[in-house]
Amino acid sequence: MEKARGYRVSQLAWGLACFMRKCIFSILSVGPLPNHIALIMDGNRRYAKKLNMAEGAGHKAGSIALMKLLSHSYELGVKYVTVYAFSIDNFKRRPDEVNSLMALIVEKIEEMLKEESIVNQYGVRMYFIGNLKLLNEPVRVAAERAMAATANNTKAALLICVAYTSSDEIVHAVQQSCKAKWIETEALDASKGINSVPGVEKENAVLAVHSIQGTSEDEWDEVASRTSTGVIEGNEESKEKQLVLPTIKVSDIERHMYMSVAPEPDILIRTSGENRLSNFLLWQTTNCPLYSPTALWPDFSFWHFLWAVLNFQRSYQYFEKKKKQL
């Protein structure tokens, strides 16, 4: 009898909480809503230490907080959520801790693919962002399976940054941009019937992507001096033949970013009171407000989420004005 009464009370409390949340979200929807929220989930280990929990328990508690935030975000109408799950720098931690985190990631991927999960409830497409070649095989296979299984979902997106740092992303984008431009230039030359331009073999080698990182300063100076007009000239036999160097623009680099599948974040949340970005989305957060509550990530609640959205709405006009000035 007592159990039944307790169950009815808990159901009533849950229903009342859902009703209040819907009312609050209806009020928030009158103003501008964030389209993309990015998260640095900081404080899992400190949370476990504070409560004398077993090692790794803090990250499990943090995963529960993440599921709640995802539910609140998609219910409000946020389309993109990006989470910093595992940095490349985290591979420097103890092997047993890294293996534990990798196992937890696989476990959560499997949970999110279940029929009753948030992913299926809100029609979420999953992306795994980063240098996936650095992941061990079970995590990489699980990530690829999740991306394939959710590829047709279009209502919302979840971007999980694993084996990721912003500096690695930028280097990758520059390398891919160079490759694309080189292929484009060779195809253009071939269409014009230009097989090669005598005297530019050295420049070709210097500009080739595979040798970019190993190019010496003297070599770059030599190329720059010979191409100051944007043109590489051949020898006496081919003065009329000229090879125009391709130009890499900001748009080219952005197109090859890991994060090119999503717009720039509207809010960046980092818990535990830290203000550092820790090599996360450095390129994409030029005009993004940072919200850094003192709560550790597992303690991040609905009210913290609500305050982040209210702060976004309060500063919306200011950041929109900044964007237009660029």
Residue type, 208: A
Q: How far apart are CA 63 and CA 80, in angstroms?
A: 18
Distances (CA, A) of 216 to 194, 202, 210, 219: 29, 13, 13, 5
Element (H, E) at 319: helix 302-325
Cα 297 to Cα 272: distance, rounded to the nearest angstrom = 7
Q: Tell me how many degrees the CA angle 76-315-255 measures, rounded to the nearest 5.
A: 70
Is residue 42 part of the annotated active site? The answer reads yes
Q: Which of 42, 218, 221, 252 is catalytic?
A: 42
Q: 316 is written with which tokens?
A: 């919306």
Distance CA 307, CA 300 (A): 11
Amino acid in position 151: A
Rounded CA gap, 129 and 162, in Å? 6
**Dihedrals phi, psi of 151, to nearest 5 degrees:** -60, -25
Q: Are strands 242-244 and 231-233 parallel, antiparallel or unpaired?
A: antiparallel
Check: CB of residue 56 under 8 Å from CB of residue 104: yes
Q: What's the sign of the alpha-carbon dihedral 145, 166, 265, 100? A: positive
> Which residues are known catalytic residues?
42
